Structure 1
Amino acid sequence: MDNETKKILTIHTIDKRMTDRKSPNMEKAGFEAALNELLEENIQVKEVVTDAHLGIGSIMKKQYSDIHHSHDIWHAAKNLGNKILKVAQKKGNNILLDWSKDIVNHFWFSCRQAKTYEEFVGIWRSVLHHITNTHEWIFSHGGVIQCMHGELTEEERTKAWLSPTQHANVLKDLAAVVLDKRLLNNVGYFLNFR
């Protein structure tokens, strides 16, 4: 589908028999057939947006490195939400259930706002401070950073804040998700906010 016009440019239906009866290979085969058809028709493809399918990522790096590859933010946010819910279901972490939607929304915001890896990480990791009612903190390089929202009204303060001491284990578990190396290694796929 073309991102600007929303018109379907090509569609390919793949049967398991076309991929040695291996259904996991179907998405990759269909993607490759569709992209090759577009390129053979001399359609200039500047960017491809997919979910985080590892096989497609590999094809993009090896065969189509001149085309920018982005990940669909909806899929990334859904996967992140599932990871946060899994952490929230861990014994003693149920306070995160109230915050899970807000954390995922903050991920969306970070992807939309950031234009560079550094900007993304700065905005994204601020959620770890925000949920403790800390809206200004000292950055590791000595500078002062603050949340991007303005003064919070009483209506906006409906959730219980996490205490850095009382909820230290909860924050540690959440930080493992927020600062996950695989997530941070994929930031380049999110910066076009598709």
Structure 2
Amino acid sequence: MHVHSMKSKKVHLHQQFQYQRKVVLHLYSTLIRHQSKMTLTTSLRSCRLMRHYRKKRRRYVKKIGSLPSQTLRVFDIMKVCRISRNTYHRHQSSYIIPSIVNAWQTEQTSLVERLKGMEGGIHLTGDGRCDSPGHSAKYGGYTVIEQRINKVLDTQLVQSNEVTSSNACDLEGLKRCLTLLTETHELDVASMVTDRHKSIEKYLREETPHNPHTAELKHHFDAWHIAKGLGKKIDALSKKKGCEDVGLWKKSIIHHMYYVAGTVPEGQADLLGEKWKSVANHVQDIHEHDTEIYPMCDQDLSQLSC
């Protein structure tokens, strides 16, 4: 009975140690891989883990008498994987951050030179992202992508105390991106796609016409953001008594919105509105409408089974 309990204890302790051993091996392989590039990326957390596991080696040896040879080798490896807090931050500021900044600036310069050789100006898509949800974010980043080459042209980080509120970080980030691209790199912006941010909409409508590089800029709203808001409204409506069936049409209604946005030519706002409102008849299997602009559903819509 005593022999059986000792064996079970050894097995339990060994299984408990397997995950910890894998973590340490991963940390060590990461350290060795980056040491050759003079970018020592071992985190402060890994240093604490290593000190913790060195103590565990002595404790485990006392409990079960011996450890597997592979586990012992991991503990021996830990002896060389120690760096201080000051060393970590010194390597970070001297090697890691400058290398990242230099690589980004080199890539950004090559993208700008590539776009200068393309005609028609650049077509941007921009969106912001905060470090936390809601209106209490400390940092907000804004990124712009060129649609034709599908590459990030610029990204700006704005701290909330630089502007009036965290909600204004998106507008400030957009201003910085456009300033860099138009004034520093002298690129002409032909179009800009954003979400329905009121401050951004006002800025692009009133301020950009005064800049020669953005005088012809056309502002568009991202259909994904509109679809997201529409989906939330449908979900809220479907929870009301007698409106449960509306939720069954959520996917089809959103697809109809994407279809309208993708098929109506630019500048035909009246047709876009009538085509969108036809969804009320379409869900009832009615494909003829009392309007001269859009009297009948398109062929691919009328053939669908409603």
Question: TM-score if structure 1 supplies the norm length?
Answer: 0.72
Aligned to 2:204: 60
Determine which of 133, 148, 173 is the counterpart of 1:4. 148
Task: State the Cα deviation string for residues 34-79 of structure 1 (Å, max 9, x = none).
Answer: 1111111111111111100111111111111331111111111111
Aligned to 2:230: 80
**Separation in structure 2 between the aligned mates of residue 137 and residue 69 of structure 1, nearest angstrom:** 31
Give the secondary structure class of the aligned counterpart of 1:136: coil
**Separation in structure 1 between the aligned mates of residue 206 and residue 279 of structure 2, nearest angstrom:** 35
Query: Does residue 163 of structure 2 align to residue 13 of structure 1?
Result: no
Shift of 1:144: 7.9
Give the secondary structure class of the aligned counterpart of 1:91: coil
Aligned residues: CA RMSD: 1.9
Question: 1:146-185 counterparts in 2 under 5 A?
Answer: 146-150=296-300, 152=303, 156-157=305-306
Aligned to 1:176: none
**Separation in structure 2 between the aligned mates of residue 108 and residue 145 of structure 1, nearest angstrom:** 20
Task: State the Cα deviation string for residues 104-140 of structure 1 (Å, max 9, x = none).
Answer: 110100000111112211211111101112122332x
Determine which of 169, 186, 206 is the counterpart of 1:42. 186
**Separation in structure 2 between the aligned mates of residue 138 and residue 44 of structure 1, nearest angstrom:** 44
**Separation in structure 1 between the aligned mates of residue 257 and residue 294 of structure 2, nearest angstrom:** 22
Aligned to 2:273: 121
Aligned to 2:282: 130
Higher relative contact order (CA 8 A, sep 6+): 1
Q: Which runs of 5+ in 1 are unaligned?
A: 158-194
User: If each structure's helix is expressed as a fraction of its own residues, which one has the higher value?
Assistant: 2
Give the secondary structure class of the aligned counterpart of 1:13: strand
Which entry has the higher C-alpha Rg, 1 or 2?
A: 2
Give the secondary structure class of the aligned counterpart of 1:31: helix
Aligned to 2:253: 103
Aligned to 1:188: none
Q: Which runs of 5+ in 2 are unaligned?
A: 1-144, 210-214
The question of whether the paired residues in 1 share the 8 Å contact of 2:260 and 2:272 is answered with yes
The letter of the residue matching 2:201 is G
Question: TM-score if structure 2 supplies the norm length?
Answer: 0.47
- Change in CA separation of 1:127 and 1:136 when aligned onto 2, cut-off 3 Å: same
Moved more, 49-58 or 86-95: 86-95
The letter of the residue matching 2:202 is S
- Change in CA separation of 1:26 and 1:144 when aligned onto 2, cut-off 3 Å: closer
